[in-house]
Amino acid sequence: MSTLLKPSSLLPKGMRIQQINHLTLFKFTDELGDRLQTLLDKKKADTLTTTENLELEAIGELDEIFSYINAAIAASSNANI
């Protein structure tokens, strides 16, 4: 039986905050970005294990969360200009 990997478990080592122009945005660390690319490559090659698939799904969900938060930050910044 597989255990669901929670995206929040990736935050301590997988998140960094980066200043881009006047915005403070959430980004993946290089380590997590590299891991995502490795998992995507394995998925493309059809060699992804069940555990790796769960990890890929968790990273993907975290990416969606970061994208949403960053878009909200950018929209709020643009509204204040």
- Taking the domains of the chain in order of start, what are their residue ranges? 21-79
CATH topology of domain 21-79: Helix Hairpins (1.10.287)
2-37 per-position pLDDT tens digit: 557 899 999 989 999 999 989 999 999 999 999 999
Q: How far apart are CA 27 and CA 49, in angstroms?
A: 26
pTM of the model: 0.86
39-72 per-position pLDDT tens digit: 999 999 999 999 999 999 999 999 999 999 999 9
DSSP one-letter string for 13-68? HHEEEEEETTEEEEEE-HHHHHHHHHHHHHHHTT---HHHHHHHHHHHHHHHHHHH
